[in-house]
């Protein structure tokens, strides 16, 4: 249920990559860069929101040279993980077909004492992010390196605003750049 590609991407994937670049450039115009929305800032609920992707990542060429397509049947998801260090910062995930909730929780490195970390530790907090079909996750910086992401589609774990989501087949396309 997984296909990978390394190196030059196929034309359809280059089109997606170009659309991601365009979407990011236009979100830079919409977002107040002095006050970007931060993970954990919105009553614990996170819908897709414009995020300023750092411009030095946008200028790399190619933007992505590795992709994974994952196909999940209802009930299937992916365990909590941080993507391998062989990939650069700046990872994109396009979500298709079924809505789902991706959870983020902070890696316990035992040293940081910032507010998010204290909160996440004391409440064993998992931050839910709602992904509708067509949504784009951009992970960079702390979200890429010190937060794990997971999708648990076992019964009872896919709740959004108190309602269990109806699951269908889900496909995701993850785009990364080899370090």
* Residues at the interface with ligand AKG (CB under 6 A): 68, 70, 78, 83, 93, 95, 149, 151, 172, 174
- Least separation, in Å, of the C-beta of 117 and ligand AKG? 22
Smaller CB separation from ligand AKG, 28 or 142: 142
DSSP label at residue 26: H
Smaller CB separation from ligand AKG, 67 or 120: 67
Nearest to 136 by CA among 17, 55, 39: 17
Smaller CB separation from ligand AKG, 19 or 55: 19
Residue 24 CB-density burial (10 A; 0-12 exposed, 13-18 middle, 19+ buried): buried
Smaller CB separation from ligand AKG, 35 or 86: 86
- Least separation, in Å, of the C-beta of 35 and ligand AKG? 27
> How far is 132 from 48, CA to CA, in rounded Å?
8
Residue nearest to ligand AKG (CB): 172
Note whether 127 and 104 are within 8 A (CB). Answer: yes
């Amino acid at each position: 249920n997984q296909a990978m590609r390394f190196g030059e991407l196929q034309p359809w994937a280059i089109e997606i990559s170009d659309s991601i670049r365009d979407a990011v450039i236009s979100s830079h115009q919409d977002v107040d860069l002095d006050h970007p929305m931060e993970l954990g800032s919105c009553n614990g609920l996170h819908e897709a929101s414009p995020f300023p992707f750092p411009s030095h990542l946008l200028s790399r060429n190619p933007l992505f040279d590795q992709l994974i397509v994952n196909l999940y049947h209802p009930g299937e998801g992916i365990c909590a993980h941080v993507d391998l260090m062989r990939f650069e910062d700046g990872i994109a995930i396009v979500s298709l077909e079924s809505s789902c909730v991706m959870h983020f929780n902070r890696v316990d490195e035992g040293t940081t004492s910032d507010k998010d970390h204290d909160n996440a530790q004391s409440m064993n907090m998992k931050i839910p992010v709602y992904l509708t079909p067509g949504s784009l996750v951009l992970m960079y910086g702390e979200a890429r390196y010190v937060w794990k992401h997971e999708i648990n589609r076992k019964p009872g774990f896919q709740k959004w605003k108190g309602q269990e989501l109806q699951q269908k087949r889900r496909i995701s396309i993850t785009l990364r750049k080899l370090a």
